[in-house]
Structure formats: structure tokens, C-alpha cells
Chain A
Amino acid sequence: MSGAAWAMSGSREPPRRNGGRQGCTGRSAISTLELLGFGQAGWGALLLVATLMTLAVTAAALLIGAVFGAIVAAAKLSGIPLLSALGTAYTTVFRGVPELLVIYLIYFGGSTAVTSIGQALGYEGFLGLPSFLAGALAVGIISGAYQAEVYRGAYLAISRGELEAASAIGMHFGLRFRRIIMPQVLRYAMPGLGNVWQLSLKDSALVSVTGLAELMRTSQVAANSTRQYFLFFIVGGALYLVLTSLSDRVFNQAERRANRSMPSSTLGQI
């Protein structure tokens, strides 16, 4: 529980009350540059590591979401009423419920599950789900709901004629999937996947409630321990901006690459 408790305690003590003064004057010799630098008192290195951690959580979440998304999209497209109802339920619930709630579900629910498995195996006491795993899983499940819609839309964008032509020359499902469906789904899904990535990048900030030292959490810790709330949240926010604008660029490149075989005249129609 302590993981989420930090944010809940939320007491907003003024920087200069109950003994904070000595702390402040003691630290006032440290300049902003030193606070953000890589020296002894600097948070620079930690913030950089935290940025990488944010990227790692988001990337893991995107991969987990790709698996969930592909399964759910297949279920929704299957035409079997029960499966498509389940798929619709999944996308409705995980797109309609606050991300924070899903993170609590996975983190606390996962820990309870792991603990009871541990007890069944004879281990007494509390076992926690690792916060990286819980965070990536939670953001991945949410991302999966969005990715499912992206993949479904991309599949529906494939021209029916091509699928019929593939069947007509005798391609069985596996071959058709590999040669016709997959490459085109990925191409049509590219812009949507870029949006999902940006969404997951921002959702990953919520994983900080599990105590994982990603960018949001590290900014929070740095802000609390130096009492420079404004500075560190600005810096944290700026690092997020760097991440989002860089990934925007990467996805634009990827989109262009995925479309390089398309004549530019048809591009306009997409």
C-alpha cells in the first residue's frame, strides 16, 4: 500500500515552516544548475535514468498491448457473436474506465493474486508484483484496448478484392495472413499506433503511484527532497515534451517508410 500512499498523503506544507527554514537556507547555496547537474547534489543522472525507465515501461506496454490488441481485434472481427461481444466488452471497459483505476486493479489485485499463489506453495507473508511488471501490464492492457480498434480499422481498410484474389489463387489462411493481411494492416495502422504510443507515454506517468522510479516519480522525489517543486515539475514536464516530440518524429519517419511502396497518388486517399 505504501506505494500509492505517497501521493495520497498530499500535505502541502509551506516550504518554510516547521524547521524547513534551516533546510532551505542550508541548500540555498546550491544553484539551480547544480540541482539539475550530474554532480553530488545533482539530480541530472537520476532524471536521465528515469527518462529511460519511462521509455522502457512504455515500450513494454506497447508490446503487451500489441498482443492484447491483436487478440481482441481478431475476436471482434471473428463474426462469432460470443467472441465479438467479449471483444467489445474489453474495449469498452478499458477505454471507459480511468487509467488510474486499472493500475490499482493490476497492482493491488496482482499482488493479492501473487500472495495467494505464494501461500499455496507454502510461502507465508506478502508478495508484491514487481512495479515495472504491474505498470507495464496495466498500461499495456489499456493500450491494448486502443490498439484493438486501430488494428480493426486497419484490417477493414484492406481492399476486399485483394483478399478475394489471394483466396482465388489458392492461398490458405496462413499464407494470406503473412503476405497480404499483415503488411497492409501494419501500414494502415501506423498513424493510429503513433497516437497510441503518445497516449501510453502519458499514461505511464500514472505508474508512478506504484513507486516505480520513472520520470514522474523521480521528479516527485526530487521535488520533495529539495522543496523545489516548481523547478523539478517543470524539468520533468520538459523531459516528457522531449520524449513526445522525438517519438512524433520517429513515427512520422516510420510512416513514410511503411508507405514507400505506395504511389503518392493513392496516399492522398488514405
Chain B
Amino acid sequence: MDFDFLASTMVTLLKAVPLTLALFALSVSVGFLLALLIVWMRVGGNRALSTFARAYIFVFRGSPLLIQMFLVFYGLAQFDFIRSGPLWPFLREPFVCAVLSLALCTAGYSAEIFRGGIRSVSPRELEAARAIGMSGFLLVRRILAPIAFRHALPAYSTEVVLMMKSTALASLVTVWEVTGVAQRLISQTYRTMEVFLCAALIYLVLNFIVLQGMALLERSLSRHLRAAPPAPKA
């Protein structure tokens, strides 16, 4: 083992971590909001909106993320009205395209996860809420959303970890995050194993931190479900 090489590889790769984290944080938060919108359309009761949401989920879950990313990155640039449109300064940036396609994709998966969470809310709780006169937004905010989110959280944390891995694809549209830098190092040095080990370690640590964060969130959301600690003796 050549520790000097490993150390210098690690330093080079660590410099790309902020970009990976930025891709991850932006796409997860945009994707989360988008998923809320889609799940609202899906379960809202309006037939046209529900069909649209169904189609959206089918398309974005059924095709590879890479082709979606290339569609956004190369496909949109093909049209003159987009190139001359007001959004072009943003859509021209590979980073924005990567975030956009990551967010669109995760929204499809997350919407299904959230729908599962909503379905697991007991109808009795909703009935009780309606019986005491809650309706509409208040019902969603106080009863439906908290319970549904808590039920959906384990599956959603898996999805969030998958997103961390998916940011690697941004390297294929010239965003130099950790995997892209690793690929460049491999083709410069031909020392695949060492570079792989360093990059893998970075991703595993990142995923571990994310999972711990999600577990903390889950604990704090289900505090009332755990048995109360034994009362301290006076």
C-alpha cells in the first residue's frame, strides 16, 4: 500500500465533496417539495390531476436517471425557444441541469413513498378530526401530514441515500463531483483500486451521516410512541 498516494488521492477527492453535498442538498429539498405537489395531485381527487401524477410517477420511476439527465442537459438545448428564453442563463449551467433532473426523478419515487404513508393513516383518526370540525388544510397540517410523514420516513431515508449515490451521475454532464474527480484520477494514474477505496470511503461516510440524521429525525418524531421513562424516585 502506497500511503502517500492514498493520502493525496483523499485530499483531491475531499475537495470535491462540497459539490456533491450541494447537488445532494439542493436536489433532495427541491425534490421533496415537488413530491408534495405530485402526491397532492395523486390523491387529491381531481381525475385529470391524478392521471397526470400517475403518468409522472410511471415515467420518472420507469426510466433510468441518466437518460432523464441527458434529456434535460442535451435535449433542452436543442430548441431555439429555450436557448433564447429567459431561463437559458440557468439551464445552460450543467449544475442546474443536474439538480433539476435529480429533483424531478426523486420526486417521482418520493411521491409514491408519501402516498404509502398517507394510506397508512388510520381512517378513524381522520374521522375523529372531521368530527371535531377540522377540515381542509388544518386537517392535513395537524393530523394527516405528521402521521403520514412518520410512517413514510423509513422508506424515505432509503430514497435519500439513493439520492446521494445518484449525484454521481452529474459527473457525466461535466459537474466535477466526487465520482467525476475519481474517474479523472483513475484515467490519469491507472490505480483503480486505491482511488475506488478512497471514493467509496467518502460515500460510505456521507451515507452513514445521512442515515444517522434520518434516524434522529425519526426518533424525535416518534417520541410520544416510546414508553415514558420510569419516573425518577423522589
Tally of B interface residues using CB under 8 Å: 46
Residue pair B71, A237 in contact (C-beta under 8 Å) = yes
B-binding segment of A60-68, A154-162, A221-229, A256-264: A221-229
Judge if A72 is at the interface, Cβ distance under 8 Å. no
Contact of A216 among B64, B171, B186, B204 (CB under 8 A): B64
Interface residues of A in 115-172 (CB under 8 A from B): none
- Which B residues are in CB contact (< 8 Å) with A97? 165, 199-200, 203-204
Stretch at the interface among B44-52, B77-85, B116-124, B139-147: B77-85
With A4-B183, A101-B179 in contact, is A241–B74 under 8 Å at CB? no
Q: A99-B168, A209-B172 are in contact. Are A108 and B187 (CB under 8 A)?
A: yes
Task: Establish whether residues A233 and B70, one from each chain, have CB atoms under 8 Å apart when the complex forms.
Answer: yes
| A80 contacts B by Cβ under 8 Å | no
Q: Is the CB of B67 within 8 A of A216?
A: yes
B89 at the interface (CB under 8 A from A): no
Residue from A92, A96, A112, A202 with most neighbouring chain B CB atoms (10 Å): A96
How many contacts A-B (CB < 8 Å)?
139
Instruction: Judge whether B67 and A101 touch: CB under 8 Å.
Output: no
Tell whether, in the assembled complex, residue A240 and residue B63 are in contact, meaning their CB atoms are under 8 Å apart. Answer: yes
Closest beta carbon of chain A to B197's beta carbon, Å = 9
Q: Are B183 and A104 in contact (CB under 8 A)?
A: yes
User: A12 to B199, alpha carbons, bound, how many Å?
Assistant: 28
B106 at the interface (CB under 8 A from A): no
- Whether A8 and B75, one on each chain, are in contact in the complex, defined by CB atoms closer than 8 angstroms, is no
Instruction: Map CB proximity to B onto A94-120 as digits: 1 under 8 Å, 0 otherwise.
Output: 001111110011001100100000000
Complex CA–CA separation, A127 to B116 (angstroms): 50
| Known pairs A97-B204, A108-B190, A230-B79; A220 contacts B165 (CB<8 A) | no
Give 8 A-B contacts (CB < 8 Å), ordered by A residue: A8-B171, A8-B180, A98-B167, A100-B179, A109-B196, A230-B74, A244-B63, A245-B62
User: Which B residues have a C-beta under 8 Å from some C-beta of A?
Assistant: 58-59, 62-68, 70-71, 73-79, 83, 94, 161, 165-169, 171-174, 179-180, 182-184, 186-187, 190, 192-193, 196, 199-200, 203-204, 207
Which residues on A are within 8 Å of B, measured CB to CB?
Answer: 1, 4-5, 7-8, 10, 12, 14-15, 92-93, 96-101, 104-105, 108-109, 112, 201-206, 208-209, 216, 219-220, 223, 227-230, 233-234, 236-238, 240-241, 244-245
Using A230-B74, A230-B78 as known contacts, list a sample of 19 further A-B pairs with CB atoms less than 8 Å apart, ordered by residue number in A.
A4-B187, A10-B172, A92-B204, A96-B207, A97-B165, A97-B204, A98-B168, A99-B165, A101-B179, A104-B183, A105-B193, A108-B186, A108-B192, A206-B66, A209-B172, A229-B75, A236-B67, A240-B64, A241-B58
